[in-house]
Each structure stands twice: as C-alpha cells, then as structure tokens.
Structure 1
Amino acid sequence: MTTLQGTMTAPSRRLSAINGVRGFRLIVKPSRNETYGLTIEETYGEDGSALATAVVTLTPQQTGRIIDALFSAMRRSGHQPSVLTFTRKAPIWLAEPDGVRLALILMATQPIAKHERVRALVAGLNAMSTEETYYWYSKCIGVDANRARKALRTLLSDD
C-alpha cells in the first residue's frame, strides 16, 4: 500500500468482536493448618483462559473474616460451599454479578481489622442493587481505585 508521500505502510488489521463472556474465578491459595487465601480473577472468554487478570488477593486471615459472603456467592453461582477446600486445585467459576459483588466485598474489607466494621461493610454491599455494585466495582478498579475504595468503606460503615 502506498501513501501520498510514496512510502510503504503496513496494511491495517481490522479489529473484530470476540464472542465471549465476562466472568470471575476464585483461585484457592493453600496455607498451613488447613487454611487458605484467595485470589479472585476477572476473566473474559468462554473458557476463561483467553484473558484473565487478578482483581484482589486475600490472606488466610482475611478470607476467614468474609467466609459467609464467600459461601453465599458460591451458592448463587450454583456451587456447593463444600467445593471450597484448602486442597482445591481447579478454579471456581462465578457468574458475573456474583463475582462483582464478591470482588467488592474482598476489596472493601481487605485492609480492615475490626470485625464489626467488616460485618457492616459486607451487610452494606449485600444490600446494594446489582447496578450499584457494578458502579462501585468500576470505580474501585479504575484510575482512582484507592480513593474510591476508601469512599465506599466510609459510605458503608459510617466511619
């Protein structure tokens, strides 16, 4: 292909839409004494391996504080809570709305030490509509993520 100046340019590639679904998967990180941490990844593609990025990672202590929210997200996605064990090797797939809500819970509670504040955050996020969770999720992973996460914690725990 020749331009007006007479130089050669590479032919442009057209971008095409990919048929895929956004979802989330939980990766179990085994620890000692039969405990585990978690990583939640956002995936795009039918098998989830096309694109995946880690959203948040929790230590075993942080995971123990939100176990009820974790089991609830798994049930809503069609899994029995018993599939979540410290020996699990395969990722656990979550539906998009459940993954968004759980990721928000993990992000909001990660730096918190007080158990009553963690409970307030989880209760506040569970009371939100699906649209609200998508809004806050986009803010909490965006450019000003730290400020958005702090604003969300302030909003939900009245601190």
Structure 2
Amino acid sequence: MASSGSGVESPPPRTTEEDRLVRYGTSMFGGRPTFTLVRQETDSGGEWTLHELLPCEQAEARRDRLERGGRSLSITPVKELLIDVSGDNLQSKSEGWTWDEWAGAKVARLDPTRVRALQDVVREAIEDTPGKTDEVLRGGNGFVFLPESAGIRLAVAFRGVKPIQRIDRMRSLARGVARMSSEECYYWYAKCRSPSSPNGEKALRVLLTNHIE
C-alpha cells in the first residue's frame, strides 16, 4: 500500500471467487449469476428480455424436452446475446465470469407497454442486485446479471404478463408477484416452465387477475 501523502493510489482490491459467491449467492453453478435482464431501446420505448443462463448442454436438453411437449425454447450463446448491448465492454462487465459453452434460454421479451406495467416489481426485485441496474431501468441499452432469487421472481412476472392485453390486469399481476414469497415464486416458476404442466401460466394469471371484471 502506498504511504500516506505519497500521491500514489493503491490499486482496487481484486475480486475473488469467494467475493462473487457472496454477491450472487450459492447455486448449483458455483455461485454464478443465473439470469440476465437485457434492455434495448426501440422507436416506441425500451424492451426488456429476460434469459436464464445455463451450460449449453443443459439448455439444449431443456429445449428438447419442451419441443417433445409441443412447446418451444429459444437459446442463444451468452456472449452473443450480451455483445449487442455491451459492445467491446462485455469483458469488463462480466465481472470475471467466463461464458464459453454457456447459453441464454429466453424466458420472455416484453414490449414497452409491459415494461411500464412491470417497472415497480422489476425495480424492487433487482434493487440489491450486484452491478449497475440503471442501464435496465432507464433509457438506452444495457444488461444486468441477476442472482437466482431475483431472476425467478422476474421470470414468473414476465411469463405471466406476456399475453395480457389490458393494463389493469398487467398491473394486478405485477402487484401479485411482488407480494409473493420466494417459495411461492419458485413454485410458480416450476409450474410455468414444466413440459408436464402446460397450463401453469394460465393458472397464475387466473390467480392474480381473475377478480378484475
């Protein structure tokens, strides 16, 4: 460390594997962030796309299971889906993680109307997320890595709101997801993505919006 008054600043502390585990929580992938939220600006406003991050082999296996059940899943190499919004800064924003042989399994893309309806639940879900969240909450293009618990909550909200047309129903679903416990979010996420539960998303919408005439 530089002596006091030398005018030479000490280098910033190096982020260790243990630091990253603390920041993103433990998971079956060694503490990696397991979701990413991407914001892209369009002529009509910002769009959000949520991806779950998986090893390519697992992402492809999930896609195959869904296709056997008549459903689809879009997967994209992680570097490819993030380079569009980060450009040459991807490495600096990856916080030491390497993404070779990893894919993003798309949860949902939301248009500007749905983005506005979910603004509060997204802000609350990611407020303690490591990294800079301003890029996805305000104008412009950017992304933020998410720990599993935040990603699961947003996945439930994104999948639930996707086909809804009325603003009042969108907002009701957003409020309902915001009030859910973490255990409830995990339950509904499993229901919404399971090939053996094709009506999981419909059941979620009935639960949270059916009181609105």
Band of TM-score, shorter chain: 0.7 to 0.9
Output the TM-score relative to the length of structure 1: 0.75
Deviation string 1:116-146 (CA, Å, 9 cap, x unpaired) is: 2122211211221111111110111121565
The corresponding residue for 2:199 is: 147
Contact 1:74 1:94 in 2 (8 A): yes
Alpha-carbon distance in structure 2 between the residues aligned to 1:143 and 1:48: 30
User: Number of residue pairs matched?
Assistant: 141
Q: In the alignment, residue 158 of structure 2 is paired with which amino acid?
A: L
Asked if 1:29 corresponds to 2:36, the answer is no
Match of 1:138 among 185, 190, 197: 190
Aligned counterpart, 1:4: none
Question: 3-state SS of the aligned residue for 1:76?
Answer: coil
Greater helix share, 1 or 2?
Answer: 2
Q: Over aligned residues, Cα RMSD in angstroms?
A: 2.5
Stretches of structure 1 lacking an aligned partner (at least 5 in a row): 1-16
Q: Percent identity?
A: 27
Aligned equivalents of 1:144, 1:119: Cα separation in 2: 28
CA distance in 1, matches of 2:54, 2:103: 5
Distance 1:86 1:29 in 2: 9
2:11 aligned partner: none
Q: Return the offset for 1:153.
A: 0.5
In 2 relative to 1, CA 145–59 (structure 1 residues): closer, same or farther, beyond 3 Å?
A: farther
How many angstroms apart in 2 are the aligned matches of 1:22 and 1:78? 10
Residue number in structure 2 paired with 1:47: 97
Quick one: distance in 2 between partners of 1:102 and 1:28?
A: 14
- Partner of 1:87, secondary structure, is coil
